[in-house]
């Protein structure tokens, strides 16, 4: 019941109560939204009120504080939003883990929301975060990084301790230079000091959010190891949507799969105020107006039954006399909010229906005429009739007749004055209508310009990627080419080779000439040998004939052999 006091303003902002129906009341404001921000209640650096002020200062109109596993900062955030005139609604980021993935499921809830079931589960997760933090400190101690648990608790403050708090202590103690270094070296998923928390399946988180009337969104799917598989898995488990709008690099890919699976497209900066390159300020996200409207329309359809049920509970308590003073106060305030919302619906320019402007201006003029013009004309008529009755009365005093005439003339002058005011008001409304038209024209032109710039940027990025690819190929080829000598050295080497080739040709010609001479000499020698052989054969025959008659004896034979050997040697 107490929480409803905090959400009265939000009821006034987003819904009008008409019987059993709530109706969204859009406001003509900047269309910036951020549905993912953190405060000191979890792992952020700023108080919830400071986060809302930071977002409102950046022009954010629709926002939600989504601390890890706690809604402790919700009341402070919504009270600040009420003071600043922006719309905030309750949210939480629930830690869910599967075997190989560490997932975060965002839950968004209606004004007046409170759930013991959700708080019980969040309390269990927060208790498990203490055990997980101590495991991380043990792992760091084994690596020589000794941190005391009380140091982590001092940094965490009112929040349940987590990796960011441990990282901050590591920076404070000088173990690492920056917050990002602590995560990159030790605390990232599957890092040397990482420890898993309570195993709370994402399907149970989704089921819990739906059972208490919330909207479930998968946070930063690009941080998963296998994003596409995870998105399809949680879609089968009944999740309402996924975060798409965070940076330019995430929009195209995750918008396509959201369209394919019929999921809502949410967005947020995941603001922590770490003052790092990856920690953008609230609202620094390309969350398009159409998707914000689609989210709020879905939220209305989901939250409307709960809002109606909340009012019915108040009615029952009011009738039963339980907390009658508080219930009566809240009910009266809700009734005022409902009436104000209904009235504002007639007099506030809608952001979703530009064709409604003419009806709004016409209604304003009719309201002005009915409230002032018609009563003035009636007074004029009454005064004139009274004056005519006074003239017709023979016994009437001349002074009274003059007074009635002056009164009738006064009323006529007042009516003329009101007519001129109405005319001026009509001209003002026309100018206002023209201003709204110019505003929308400017907005549309800005959207077209930004869209063209995005297209040009994409083309430039593709061109840069192509140039980078060509540059890498060129550098690779250059390294390969540089392994070989230059053109001048190659030419000098060719000239040297040519000179050697000429010398070799000349030597070859000389060898050829010598070889030819040798061939001739050999031919002549061969002819001489053949002649000598023939002569030898003839002389041998002659010797044989001379010695046929000679008796065979050793001395004759030896002489003959010596003669033959001498001839052979001579040859």
Cβ 294 vs Cβ 265: under 8 Å:
yes
- CATH architecture entry for 3-340: Alpha-Beta Barrel (3.20)
Q: What is the pTM of this model?
A: 0.53
User: Mind listing the pLDDT tens digit for each residue in 322-352?
Assistant: 444 554 555 555 555 444 444 443 433 333 3
CA distance 566 to 440: 134
In sequence order, what are the residues at sequence separation of 6 or more whose Cβ sits closer than 8 angstroms to the Cβ of residue 52? 63, 65, 77, 80, 81, 84, 86, 88
CB atoms within 10 A of CB 282: 26
pLDDT at 396: 67
In sequence order, what are the residues at sequence separation of 6 or more whose Cβ sits closer than 8 angstroms to the Cβ of residue 64? 34, 35, 36, 37, 88, 89, 90, 91, 108, 268
Helix, strand, coil shares of the chain, percent, nearest 5, are 65, 10, 25
Cβ 563 vs Cβ 540: under 8 Å:
no
CA distance 376 to 388: 18
Complete DSSP assignment for 104-142: EEEEE--TT---HHHHHHHHHHHHHHHHHHHHHHHHHHH
Half-sphere exposure for 209 (CA within 13 Å, toward CB)? 32
Closest CA to 193 of 185, 201, 203: 185
Phi-psi region at 338: left, alpha or beta (left = phi > 0; alpha = psi -120 to 50) = alpha
pLDDT at 568: 61
The burial of 32, by beta-carbon neighbours within 10 Å (0-12 exposed, 13-18 middle, 19 or more buried), is given as buried
What are the residue ranges spanned by the domains of the chain?
Answer: 3-340, 367-447
SS3 of residue 267 by DSSP? strand
pLDDT at 10: 43
pLDDT at 17: 38
Regions of the chain with pLDDT less than 50: 1-29, 322-324, 327, 337-358, 360-374
In sequence order, what are the residues at sequence separation of 6 or more whose Cβ sits closer than 8 angstroms to the Cβ of residue 364? 347, 425, 429
Length of the chain: 571
């Amino acid at each position: 019941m107490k929480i409803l006091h905090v959400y009265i303003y939000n009821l006034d902002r987003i819904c009008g109560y008409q019987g059993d129906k709530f109706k969204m009341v859009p406001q003509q404001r900047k269309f910036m939204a951020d549905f993912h921000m953190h405060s000191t209640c979890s792992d952020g650096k700023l108080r919830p009120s400071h986060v809302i002020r930071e977002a409102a200062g950046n022009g954010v109109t629709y926002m939600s504080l989504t601390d890890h596993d706690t809604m402790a900062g919700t009341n402070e955030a919504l009270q600040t939003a009420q003071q600043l005139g922006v719309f905030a609604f309750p949210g939480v980021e629930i830690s869910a883990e599967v075997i190989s993935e560490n997932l975060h499921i965002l839950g968004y809830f209606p004004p007046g929301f409170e759930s013991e079931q959700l708080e019980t589960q969040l309390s269990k997760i927060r208790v498990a975060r203490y055990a997980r933090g101590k495991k991380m400190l043990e792992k760091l101690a084994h690596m020589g990084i000794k941190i005391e648990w009380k140091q982590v608790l001092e940094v965490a403050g009112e929040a349940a301790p987590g990796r960011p708090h441990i990282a901050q202590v590591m920076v404070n103690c000088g173990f690492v230079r920056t917050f990002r270094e602590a995560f990159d070296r030790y605390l990232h998923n599957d890092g040397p000091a990482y420890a898993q928390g309570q195993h709370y399946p994402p399907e149970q988180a989704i089921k819990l959010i739906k059972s208490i009337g919330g909207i479930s969104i998968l946070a930063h799917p690009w941080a998963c190891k296998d994003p596409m598989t995870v998105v399809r898995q949680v879609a089968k488990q009944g999740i309402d949507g996924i975060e798409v709008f965070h940076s330019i690099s995430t929009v195209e890919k995750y918008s396509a799969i959201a369209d394919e699976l019929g999921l809502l497209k949410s967005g947020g900066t995941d603001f922590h105020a770490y003052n790092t390159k990856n920690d953008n300020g609230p609202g620094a996200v390309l969350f398009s107006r159409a998707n914000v409207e689609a989210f709020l329309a879905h939220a209305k359809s989901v939250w409307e039954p709960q809002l109606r049920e909340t009012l019915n509970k108040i009615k029952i308590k009011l009738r039963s006399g339980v907390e009658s003073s508080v219930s009566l106060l809240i009910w009266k305030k809700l009734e005022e909010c409902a009436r104000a919302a209904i009235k504002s619906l007639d007099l506030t320019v809608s952001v979703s229906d530009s064709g409604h402007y003419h009806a709004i201006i016409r209604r304003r003029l009719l309201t002005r005429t009915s409230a002032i013009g018609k009563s003035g004309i009636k007074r004029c008529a009454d005064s004139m009739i009274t004056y005519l009755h006074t003239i017709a009365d023979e016994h009437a005093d001349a002074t009274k007749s003059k007074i009635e005439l002056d009164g009738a003339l006064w009323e006529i002058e007042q009516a003329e004055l009101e007519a001129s005011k109405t005319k001026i008001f009509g001209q003002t409304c026309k100018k206002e209508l023209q201003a709204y038209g110019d505003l929308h024209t400017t907005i549309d032109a800005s959207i077209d310009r930004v869209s063209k710039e995005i297209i040009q940027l994409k083309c430039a990025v593709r061109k840069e990627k192509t140039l980078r690819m060509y540059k890498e190929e060129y550098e690779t080829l250059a390294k390969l080419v540089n392994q070989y000598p230059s053109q001048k050295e190659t030419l000098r080497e060719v000239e040297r080779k040519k000179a050697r080739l000429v010398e070799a040709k000349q030597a070859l010609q000389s060898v050829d000439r010598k070889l030819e001479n040798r061939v001739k000499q050999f031919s002549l020698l061969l002819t001489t040998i053949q002649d000598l052989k023939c002569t030898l054969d003839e002389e041998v025959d002659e010797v044989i004939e001379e010695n046929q008659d000679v008796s065979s004896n050793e001395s004759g034979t030896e002489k003959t052999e010596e003669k033959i050997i001498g001839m052979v040697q001579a040859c």
